Structure 1
Amino acid sequence: MQYNIPEHLKGLDDSEVTASRKQHGYNKMAGVHKSSGLELLLNILKEPMLILLFAISVIYFIVGDYGEAVFMLLAIFAVSAISFYQDTRSKKALEALEELNEPLSKVIRNAQLVEIPTNEIVVGDLCITEEGKMINADGIIVHSNDFSVNESSLTGESLSVFKNSESDDRRIYCGTLAVSGLAVFKVEEIGEQTRIGKIGKSLATIKEEISPLQLQITKFVKAMAIVGIIIFVIVCVVNYYHTHNLVDSLLNGLTLAMSVLPEEIPVAFTTFMALGAWKLMREGIIVKRSSIVETLGSTTVICTDKTGTITENTMQLKHLYDYQSDKIYEKKEFNQDKLAQLIDYAMWSSEPVPFDPMEKTLHSVYEQTQKTDQRKDYTMFHEYPLEGKPPMMTHLFENEAKKRIIAAKGAPEAILAVSSLSDAEKDKIRNIIKTLGQQGFRILGVASSNFEGNNFPERQQDFNFEFLGLVVFYDPPKKGIQDVFKHIYDAGIKVKVITGDNKDTTKSIATQAGIAHTEAVIEGKEIMECSEEQLLQSVEEKVLFTRMFPDAKLAVVNALKKKGEVVAMLGDGVNDGPALKAAHIGVAMGSKGTEIAKAAAALVITNDDLDKLIIGIASGRRIYDNIKKAIQYIISIHIPIILTVSLPLFLGWIYPQIFTPVHVIFLELVMGPTCSIVYENEPMEKDTMLQKPRRMTDTFLNWKELMISIIQGLVITAGVLFAYQWAVQNGGNEEKTRAMVFTTLIFANILLSLTNRSFHYSLFESFKNKNYLFAVVSGLALILLFAILYVEFFANFFHLTGLKIEELGTAAGIACVSVLWFEVYKWIRKLNHYSD
């Protein structure tokens, strides 16, 4: 965008910027406290699992088992290192997102217009703000062009206020919104010294809402912690009753408490969400809150704008309809003298510094066709901003000779309504509009007026307008947009087009773009006239919502939410703010979006490509599925650990303490990386985007899924205890029995992590989804297992002995039967599905 900056506005030079920053600092509010590396580590050391490890290591030191005590301390280090690694990755990902979310501001420095990060604004800077932009510092207006500002964030007053350099109050404030026009202001306060900074309204202090999935996971972990405490007490009491040995009883109880506590789950959730948001950022999708990634996968309805989202937003001027000659002209005929007045007034009714693509085109056509460029001769001294239902806008210009130009443009219906045409003439124009609209053209009406004196009407509709004609734009659908909508429909997601354009144009473009059921159309005014019951029915049935305005958009979004839909709302303008805020997922356009839209949205698509939203939804589904897989894996593998620790004790078997804390913590060290690192890296399954969206009210595991995990765990338990009895029956001592049980459980653990990569596709089909981390973690687990079995030092430490090749084969066979039965179950279920 080109700005005509007054020559006397030079701004600060580099040395003045440096001096100002040294004196006043950076333009930053006091944000929420960010944890340092040391604080992250201290928070990790407060985790229940580490507290248990500390308690066990202390007991080992007391009884003189220094080897076990040192191992526990090493385990504390290992668990802390894994958690610290995950927390650091999450922290860096979120910091990268925050940095990308930093808005840019336009300032004049060294007599040049430059764009800088907002935090680099200094006191004394000359900042430029314009329609739709958030003001980022306090200052005084030094130059303006029909500038108005909404100060409701400070005053509570919703009406905008016009201000200029001559106003009694020419101050503008950080956190307020430019509603119209343009202003250059000199910065006087920044950061915490601004008015909004002093009253503590920093957005950085707003707490992030806890998502439904977070609540469910927190409740689950708390419930398991309570179960762990209960089992700990029971085991301690039972063991003490049998042995009268308090230390052994405490160790047994703590071992079981460790096996029950699913501390991997919250770590996995945080990691998945933060890294998911970071990966989306690399795709050009800026996520404001990492938890929104979860909601993305639940999207059931996408409410999209037409212009710039479905279409290219190029706004080529294809035709002009001149009322006087009653003829439609093509582009090659625009140089004709009879079209001069229409082109003239179409340009004057646009912003002097245009940012809308249509207005840029009108300025360009004016330059190319008019013999004399009069824009420097006239000054806009009064403006009626875009308003009304349908909307129109009016600009008043004057030159030094006091000659006036009053130009209006807007929706054809709005311009016809205020024009002096007869009903018959209006009907004729409406037929032309309908014919053009059916071809997918965007149409604006243009009118002129005359007015003496300065007692202007309060409403622009009260001028006496002369209808001049129509300007006809074509904004073609984006290339490949049909494929985008096919993907959306394949994913079971509905589409609603919400636009300010008319019915005929919207229907034509929507049909070309591949949107289904385009015959279902409703206008904004009809929306506002509906009863609640009619509105709920309309938002369900209708696909195209035309001539929409802010209240109507908000009503549609709220009605869809009331219907139980998870709504993604795409918007770019100031007027989209309320609907973006109300939607479950507000999506702003990064290129053409206003700052207020970006501020209201939860997600920003940097290149305005709707296909990116599909990538986001796919990512949300992948992450949710992978969290479920990780949690089901954790539940399934915890069950055999818990029962292997407790059942031999409760049933009075020959070796009641088959596992000690060192065995359990080794298993925890295998499970931790598997669920939080390996499953996070798992690719999306091939049919994920062919499924219907999940309901956001669904629990992360339904009863069927939970029962599958419990059955998997119980079958593995049966296999492990069978290995126990097999070893005892074949004359195995405690060390040999422990080795068989431990080996069988490690093999089962590795196989379970592989088979649970998919609950639909076979293990071999899952290998097509490359995830090298499975090979890395599984390989390390096997290397460590063989080291424990066959390296004497480790074998003695873990109180077990090496296995012969046939014993190793038996353990592997038992593990295969205990886990791979699920592959048969998947195969049978697949056959039943095909037979249906």
Structure 2
Amino acid sequence: MINEREVQSGLTQAEADRRLKKYGPNLLEKKKKISPLTIFLSQFNDFITWVLIGATIISGFMGEKADAVTIIIIIVMNSVLGFIQEFKTEKSLEALKNMASPTSKVIRNGKLKIVNAQDLVIGDLIVIESGDKIPADCMITESSNLMIDESLLTGESAGVSKSIQKKENSIYMGTIVLTGNAKAKVTGTGMETEMGKIAGMLQSIEKDTSPLKEKLNNLGKILVVLCLIVCAVVTIAGIMRGENKYEMFLLGVSLAVAAIPESLTAIVTVALALGVSRMLKRNALIRKLPAVETLGCTSIICSDKTGTLTENKMTVKAMYSNGRTYNLDRESVPENAMLKKIFTYCNDCNVDTDKKNVSESLIGDPTETALIKVYFRDGKTLKNFLGRARRVYDIPFDSDRKMMSVIVKEGSKEISYVKGAPEKLIRKCKYILDRGNVRILTSNERNNIVKAIENMSFNALRCIAGAYKEKNLTRGKSLEDNLIFVGIAGIIDPPRKEVKDAVLKCKMAGIKPVMITGDHKNTAFAIGYDLGICKTQDQVITGDDLDKLTDKQLEKTVDKKVIFARVTPKHKLRIVRAFKSKNKVVAMTGDGVNDAPAVKEADIGICMGISGTDVTKEAASMVLLDDNFTTIVSAVEEGRVIYDNIRKFIRYLLSCNLGEVLTMFLASAFNLAIPLLPIQILMVNLATDGLPAIALGVDPPEGDIMAEKPRIKNESIFARGLTEKILVRGALIGTCTIFSFVVAQYLGFGLKTARTMALATLVMSQLIHVFECRSENHSIFQINLFSNKYLLGAIAASICMILAIVYIPFLQNVFHTSAMNLIQWGIVIFFSGIIALINSLYLYFK
């Protein structure tokens, strides 16, 4: 049974908290999360790791207990490192999912507020409008032209009309509001909803997978095969030279563990997750992980004007009434009782009657609130004015009509008020209200109105026209025919100050900023010119002009346009497709339900976090939490940084692993003694692979990253010479290690010391190479070596490891090393650094 007080003012917060505690959150049951233990055990789920564990256990039984225990410890340490990476990544991604969880507008304590949808309880009074996803099962208590898409439940694609007068006045969780608005009382939450009954169907939702990760997985499989072949050659060659079969088998397996870049995709995931977290701090919420890669390719940013390029702080600056324009900076608001009624009654603002100040009492679209604030200064006066009338019917605003109409009952009399885009509304007007008299609207007066609109729009004012009707108030679209024109409000929405710099940064980065707006072309041009988006009127095109062009004609002309004015969401879709046909990577913003197709079609679909509808958020790859254009540019920059960092650690890992494989292969090819023992190879893997690679994944951006042109979307991760860099540097690391080993033997330092020097050379050359990997275009002398504190920490940890196994007696016995003197260290440093020095000098002078 409906509680009348609850229908009017909703639940109290205390009662909502009590019911939430009693019935639980409004959530469907989900699959159980992967436990930390499962994540840890999965680190061992690798064939070669199991072979190595088995081999070391056998070596333990054969008397090599110290080696066996140490190798097992190293494997466990590697697994712990992998576990920490994966566990943190899962936590980060889970936190991001929670950030992206839906919200709902609810009335509590008589006030409209936005809450997390999972906090809704039975009895809550929610407010829904076009584009919203219904958060729970509800019963309608008040509605206007409500149409619901119930295809998720019924399979029927046609919308279903709902109202309190109809027998079927229930609405269900997960369905979508197509048109209209309503208030509804929650009757079921969580698993008690209709959706909850079929929740099992929703448990197979696939996770977003990064295309880059898939490519690297495939690359990893190829590298595994190649590494196993090389390891087999090294093992067989050693056995043929008369080496111990068991030791050579263990050596081969150890080399395979060190050489195979098993952490490659894991570190990509870490880099993506950390990058997404950094974007979140800059107010960009990534909903689909593949978007992170695509962001760096963005060449076109199509942005809405209002709230994104502008502050969305609306103020009425001018009014046209009774045949003249009033400048409100110098003049008072013109006396026009009918225009005041139109802008106040034909308005979807919610009013908090407890607030005295009007600015604090109004909740709603900034345009709507501005039209009320121009007439009222205190909440009491506004409350009294609203109390004189009651809305009995409305036709909500939509982007095609660009109008909103209401029928209001004042006493016993009904009257219709209409507001909307002037050029649309003026076509519907047959009459004009002139100083209290209604007469036929003449063509001369139409021309005067058009001139007034143009003058306002040239001053960057957004124009809203008002009209009314007293007779033939039939329900339906004919309500908007034969209207009486009353006047126009000119609203200023100043550009965001920071956007001008963001536009300039876009142009420097080879990215074309494009403004898309429903405003008049003159208003759009004035804002665009101020922000540096456009220079001439020729760069502006209107929706009417677009309608005259075929898709082929639009494709030919789209590159010449940077402002699209008076467009509809349908135009947005054509614009996206036209740019994509020119092989551009397009980012497109949107907020309304009709924007969803264009947002989904774009390479990077962006939804407004503040004003965006649920439908558009679901279609989007990214949500702007502050609705700011600058945030888009920041996200593009972050996307470039993430991609560059992935290239950095791929370069580092593969070069180092190649160096390790070549060290052993060259020794085998030239019939040399084994330069590194199995336990030493595993130590190199532990000391150099994990921490430095992860640290490269969070490397700060190079200063000129936004001075480069966007990369090609389908560019290989190994493009622009990365393959050559990996092969050459890997070969040099292996060659220098072998030279260090051979020189040590030539100077008579003994096999143990020679192996120690080879081990130190391999580690130090990789740690020096990690600095080279920080930039593809600049030498070590041109970058700030101390800007990545995580990398410095990782290198310090690696150096401590190598010093420990060289100088601590117990570890010397375990790793079969010997202490080195200054001459030996000099040889190690020479072979470790000579190639890096030559390469850096080459880049510096280049």
Regarding TM over 0.5, the answer is: yes
Matched, 1:542 2:542: no
Determine if contact 1:621/1:688 at 8 Å carries over to the other structure: yes
Cα distance change of structure 1 residues 63 and 537 upon mapping to structure 2, 3 Å threshold: farther
**CA shift for structure 1 position 205:** 4.6
- With 558-567 and 480-489 compared, the bigger mean Cα shift is at 558-567
Q: What is residue 392 of structure 1 aligned with on the other side?
A: 403
Matched, 1:343 2:340: yes
**CA shift for structure 1 position 185:** 1.7
Matched, 1:247 2:251: no
Matched, 1:407 2:417: yes
Matched, 1:508 2:529: no
Matched, 1:355 2:364: yes
- With 11-20 and 630-639 compared, the bigger mean Cα shift is at 11-20
**Alpha-carbon separation, structure 1, partners of 2:706 and 2:718:** 20
Kindly report which structure 2 residues correspond to 1:612-627, keeping only aligned pairs within 5 A, or say none: 612-627=631-646
**Helix, strand or coil: the match of 2:487?**
strand
Matched, 1:688 2:705: yes
**Alpha-carbon separation, structure 1, partners of 2:845 and 2:51:** 43
**Helix, strand or coil: the match of 1:124?**
coil
Q: Note the alpha carbon deviations across 1:385-437, whole angstroms, 9 max, x for none.
A: 22464622222222341x12112221111112112234443233222222221
Q: What is residue 129 of structure 1 aligned with on the other side?
A: 128
Q: What is residue 816 of structure 2 aligned with on the other side?
A: 799
Q: What is residue 712 of structure 1 aligned with on the other side?
A: 729
Matched, 1:785 2:782: no
- The Cα RMSD (Å) is 2.7
Cα distance change of structure 1 residues 460 and 208 upon mapping to structure 2, 3 Å threshold: farther
- With 83-92 and 605-614 compared, the bigger mean Cα shift is at 605-614
**CA shift for structure 1 position 171:** 0.7
**Alpha-carbon separation, structure 2, partners of 1:137 and 1:457:** 30
Q: What is residue 833 of structure 1 aligned with on the other side?
A: none
**CA shift for structure 1 position 379:** 2.4
Q: What is residue 388 of structure 2 aligned with on the other side?
A: 377
- With 764-773 and 699-708 compared, the bigger mean Cα shift is at 764-773
**Alpha-carbon separation, structure 2, partners of 1:600 and 1:205:** 19
- Size of the aligned set, in residue pairs, is 818
- With 281-290 and 506-515 compared, the bigger mean Cα shift is at 281-290
**CA shift for structure 1 position 179:** 4.5
Determine if contact 2:599/2:619 at 8 Å carries over to the other structure: yes
**CA shift for structure 1 position 88:** 1.8
- With 26-35 and 264-273 compared, the bigger mean Cα shift is at 26-35
Q: What is residue 459 of structure 2 aligned with on the other side?
A: 439
- Structure 2 counterpart of 1:252, one-letter code: L
Determine if contact 2:653/2:693 at 8 Å carries over to the other structure: no
Cα distance change of structure 1 residues 318 and 7 upon mapping to structure 2, 3 Å threshold: farther
**Helix, strand or coil: the match of 1:45?**
coil
Q: What is residue 171 of structure 2 aligned with on the other side?
A: 172
- With 300-309 and 187-196 compared, the bigger mean Cα shift is at 187-196
**CA shift for structure 1 position 681:** 2.7
Cα distance change of structure 1 residues 747 and 8 upon mapping to structure 2, 3 Å threshold: closer
- With 197-206 and 549-558 compared, the bigger mean Cα shift is at 197-206
Determine if contact 2:7/2:141 at 8 Å carries over to the other structure: no
**Alpha-carbon separation, structure 2, partners of 1:782 and 1:225:** 28
Q: What is residue 661 of structure 2 aligned with on the other side?
A: 642
Q: What is residue 220 of structure 1 aligned with on the other side?
A: 219
Determine if contact 1:309/1:609 at 8 Å carries over to the other structure: yes
**Alpha-carbon separation, structure 2, partners of 1:544 and 1:442:** 16
Determine if contact 1:272/1:676 at 8 Å carries over to the other structure: no
Cα distance change of structure 1 residues 304 and 777 upon mapping to structure 2, 3 Å threshold: same
Matched, 1:595 2:592: no
**Alpha-carbon separation, structure 1, partners of 2:809 and 2:771:** 30
Cα distance change of structure 1 residues 763 and 491 upon mapping to structure 2, 3 Å threshold: same
Cα distance change of structure 1 residues 33 and 550 upon mapping to structure 2, 3 Å threshold: farther
**Helix, strand or coil: the match of 1:386?**
coil
**Alpha-carbon separation, structure 2, partners of 1:319 and 1:312:** 19
**CA shift for structure 1 position 159:** 5.8
**CA shift for structure 1 position 234:** 3.2
- Structure 1 counterpart of 2:798, one-letter code: A
**CA shift for structure 1 position 371:** 10
**Alpha-carbon separation, structure 2, partners of 1:333 and 1:202:** 63
**CA shift for structure 1 position 198:** 3.1
Gaps in structure 2 of 5+ consecutive residues? 351-362, 431-440
- Structure 1 counterpart of 2:279, one-letter code: L
**Alpha-carbon separation, structure 1, partners of 2:332 and 2:160:** 39
Correspondence for 1:566 among 582, 585, 589 = 585
Q: Note the alpha carbon deviations across 1:553-606, whole angstroms, 9 max, x for none.
A: 112122323322222222222332222222222222223333333333222222
Q: Note the alpha carbon deviations across 1:251-302, whole angstroms, 9 max, x for none.
A: 2321332233011211210110111111222233222234432222222111
**Helix, strand or coil: the match of 2:25?**
coil
- With 423-432 and 718-727 compared, the bigger mean Cα shift is at 423-432
Q: What is residue 354 of structure 2 aligned with on the other side?
A: none
Q: What is residue 834 of structure 1 aligned with on the other side?
A: none
Kindly report which structure 2 residues correspond to 1:289-328, keeping only aligned pairs within 5 A, or say none: 289-322=288-321, 324-328=322-326
Q: What is residue 356 of structure 2 aligned with on the other side?
A: none
**CA shift for structure 1 position 443:** 0.9
Q: Note the alpha carbon deviations across 1:348-404, whole angstroms, 9 max, x for none.
A: 332264722121122233435999954323222222222464622222222341x12
**Alpha-carbon separation, structure 1, partners of 2:399 and 2:271:** 46
Determine if contact 2:756/2:818 at 8 Å carries over to the other structure: yes
**Alpha-carbon separation, structure 1, partners of 2:664 and 2:325:** 90
**CA shift for structure 1 position 452:** 3.5
Determine if contact 1:297/1:693 at 8 Å carries over to the other structure: yes
Identity across matched positions, percent: 29
Q: TM-score, normalised by structure 2?
A: 0.91
Determine if contact 1:385/1:394 at 8 Å carries over to the other structure: yes
Q: Note the alpha carbon deviations across 1:782-835, whole angstroms, 9 max, x for none.
A: 222222222333223222322221121111111111332210221232xxxxxx
Q: What is residue 435 of structure 2 aligned with on the other side?
A: none
- Structure 1 counterpart of 2:796, one-letter code: G
- With 59-68 and 677-686 compared, the bigger mean Cα shift is at 59-68
**Alpha-carbon separation, structure 1, partners of 2:803 and 2:6:** 79
Determine if contact 1:208/1:289 at 8 Å carries over to the other structure: no
**Alpha-carbon separation, structure 2, partners of 1:7 and 1:252:** 75
Q: TM-score, normalised by structure 1?
A: 0.92
Q: What is residue 816 of structure 1 aligned with on the other side?
A: 833
Matched, 1:267 2:250: no
Matched, 1:483 2:501: yes
Q: What is residue 491 of structure 2 aligned with on the other side?
A: 473
**Helix, strand or coil: the match of 2:605?**
strand
- With 365-374 and 627-636 compared, the bigger mean Cα shift is at 365-374
**CA shift for structure 1 position 498:** 0.9
Q: What is residue 374 of structure 2 aligned with on the other side?
A: 365
**CA shift for structure 1 position 494:** 0.7
**Helix, strand or coil: the match of 2:484?**
strand
Gaps in structure 1 of 5+ consecutive residues? 830-836
Kindly report which structure 2 residues correspond to 1:596-611, keeping only aligned pairs within 5 A, or say none: 596-611=615-630
- With 16-25 and 607-616 compared, the bigger mean Cα shift is at 16-25
Cα distance change of structure 1 residues 14 and 466 upon mapping to structure 2, 3 Å threshold: closer
- Structure 1 counterpart of 2:445, one-letter code: E
**Alpha-carbon separation, structure 1, partners of 2:408 and 2:573:** 35
**CA shift for structure 1 position 71:** 0.7
- Detail structure 1 runs of 4+ shifted over 6 Å in the superposition: 201-204, 369-372
Determine if contact 2:142/2:163 at 8 Å carries over to the other structure: yes
Q: Note the alpha carbon deviations across 1:650-669, whole angstroms, 9 max, x for none.
A: 3322x1x2222211111111
Q: What is residue 746 of structure 1 aligned with on the other side?
A: 763
**Alpha-carbon separation, structure 2, partners of 1:355 and 1:126:** 18
**Alpha-carbon separation, structure 1, partners of 2:86 and 2:277:** 14
Kindly report which structure 2 residues correspond to 1:147-166, keeping only aligned pairs within 5 A, or say none: 147-155=146-154, 160-166=159-165
Determine if contact 1:298/1:695 at 8 Å carries over to the other structure: yes
- Structure 1 counterpart of 2:813, one-letter code: N
**CA shift for structure 1 position 631:** 0.7
**Helix, strand or coil: the match of 2:467?**
strand
Q: What is residue 482 of structure 2 aligned with on the other side?
A: 464
- Structure 1 counterpart of 2:655, one-letter code: S
Determine if contact 1:147/1:164 at 8 Å carries over to the other structure: yes
- With 189-198 and 440-449 compared, the bigger mean Cα shift is at 189-198
**Helix, strand or coil: the match of 1:9?**
helix
**CA shift for structure 1 position 632:** 0.5
**Helix, strand or coil: the match of 1:367?**
coil
**CA shift for structure 1 position 110:** 5.5
